[in-house]
């Protein structure tokens, strides 16, 4: 049996091996991924982002537990991809969090993968995309992509998801952390976690205000759809999703079932409004472009050679050659 076949058959060891190959960007990983590609496109990708101290890891664990032991219906397979692109200082934090996974350990229907930052952030987004494809092909129904909501890079990773959940918590300073990152614009669901703490009302109010400000962005987003004569209020209502605000207490599980409902509801909305396939297309476009850009650059550098490149760089540094001239010289070679 090939590695791809073993992964499709649900073998955990094969899955782990492929994930390692993909994370290390090995050529054989790429080939197996291509073999598995026809089996992808079924999983619901859910991005969960929030600052340190919001309790988002615990919340993801609770959600996984909920989907594994639903009050009704059949259990779903859950994958968690925890991405930590922050500084080397906090490199171990995500792995540390995962020690508290007692309730889920031993359940083969939950697979957790922590990814640390290696090299460029663009590279991390690419690798994360590849890892979610592996889980997708392996039959995982819901894939959580968990990121620290600290900047543009996280927004980029969150774009991989069909549904983006932004987690806040009371008592983390006056500002709503998400404001800084501009991540609120891409939020499909907002969560006030630690909702049992004093200040939860204040946090919810702040989020509501922010949502009001974000509304023009939603309108702008609508303008991407062709305004044909048949479009009316009803069509618009089907397309627009106004992010609900959910309150949760990850510690004891309060509000987690309702959050899971909101996530499922959003998936249904995406499919009804054809946003699902639009996001799928965007994701694959992004992936292809990143692969092509990378390959074009590598080929170019191999063609030019290190000596020639260094020569031109010296010209630049000594101000004998302007950047535009350096560009032309190298492209002519």
Residues near its own copies (CB under 8 A) are: 30-31, 33-35, 37-38, 40-41, 51-52, 85-90, 121, 148, 150-154, 172-175, 179-182, 184-185, 213-214, 217, 277, 280-281, 284-285, 287-289, 291-293, 295-297, 300, 312-313, 316-317, 319-320, 322-327, 330-331
Nearest approach, Cβ of residue 133 and its own copies (Å): 9
Of the pair 13, 331, the CB lying nearest its own copies is at: 331
**Nearer of residues 66 and 283 to its own copies, judged by Cβ:** 283
Q: How far is the CB of 210 from its own copies (least distance, A)?
A: 8
Least gap, CB of 291 to its own copies (angstroms): 5
Q: Which is nearer to its own copies, 11 or 287 (CB)?
A: 287
Determine the Cα–Cα distance for residues 259 and 65; give it in Å rounded to an integer.
Answer: 13
CB of 12 to its own copies, least distance (A): 24
Give whichever of 12 and 305 is closer to its own copies, judged by the CB atom. 305
* Nearer to its own copies among residue 64 and residue 86 (C-beta): 86
Could you tell me the smallest distance in angstroms from the CB atom of residue 128 to its own copies? Answer: 14
**Is the CB of 87 or the CB of 223 nearer to its own copies?**
87
Nearer to its own copies, 96 or 300 (CB): 300
DSSP lists the bridge partners of residue 46 as 144, 163
Is 99 within 8 Å of 93 (Cβ atoms)? no
CB of 19 to its own copies, least distance (A): 17
91 and 84 Cβ atoms separated by less than 8 Å? yes
Q: Which two tokens stand for residue 333?
A: 């070679």
Least separation in angstroms between CB 105 and its own copies: 30
Q: Report the C-alpha gap between 120 and 126 in whole angstroms.
A: 10
Choose among 111, 207, 206, 117: nearest CA to 156.
117
- Closer of 257 and 330 to its own copies (Cβ): 330
- Contacts of 320-328 with CB under 8 Å at 24 or more apart are none
The CB-of-30 to its own copies minimum distance in angstroms stands at 6
């Amino acid at each position: 049996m090939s590695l791809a076949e073993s992964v499709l058959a649900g073998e955990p060891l094969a899955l782990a091996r492929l994930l390692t190959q993909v994370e290390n960007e090995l050529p054989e990983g790429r080939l197996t991924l291509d073999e598995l590609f026809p089996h992808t496109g079924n999983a619901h990708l859910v991005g969960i982002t929030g600052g340190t101290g919001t309790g988002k890891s615990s919340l993801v664990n609770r959600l996984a537990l909920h989907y594994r032991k639903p009050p009704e219906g059949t259990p779903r397979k859950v994958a968690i991809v925890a991405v930590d692109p922050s500084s080397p200082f906090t490199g171990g934090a995500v792995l540390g969090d995962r020690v508290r996974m007692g309730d889920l350990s031993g359940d083969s229907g939950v697979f957790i993968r922590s990814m640390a930052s290696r090299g460029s952030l663009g590279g991390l987004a690419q690798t994360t995309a590849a890892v979610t494809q592996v889980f997708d092909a392996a039959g995982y129904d819901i894939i959580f992509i968990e990121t620290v909501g600290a900047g543009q890079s996280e927004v980029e990773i969150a774009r991989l998801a069909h549904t983006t959940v932004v987690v806040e918590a009371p008592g983390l300073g006056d500002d709503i952390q998400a404001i800084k990152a501009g991540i609120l614009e891409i939020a499909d669901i907002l969560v006030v976690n630690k909702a049992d703490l004093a200040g939860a009302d204040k946090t919810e109010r702040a989020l509501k205000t922010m949502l009001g400000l974000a509304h023009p962005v939603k309108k702008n987003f609508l303008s991407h759809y062709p305004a044909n004569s048949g479009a009316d209020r009803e069509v618009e209502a089907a397309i627009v999703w106004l992010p609900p605000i959910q309150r949760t207490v990850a510690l004891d599980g309060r509000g987690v079932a309702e959050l899971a409902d909101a996530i499922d509801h959003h998936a249904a909305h995406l499919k009804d409004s054809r946003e699902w396939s639009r996001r799928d297309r965007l994701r694959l476009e992004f992936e292809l472009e990143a692969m092509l850009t990378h390959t074009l650059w590598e080929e170019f550098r191999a063609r030019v050679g290190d000596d020639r490149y260094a020569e031109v760089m010296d010209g630049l540094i000594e101000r004998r050659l302007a950047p535009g001239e350096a560009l032309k010289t190298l492209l002519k070679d």
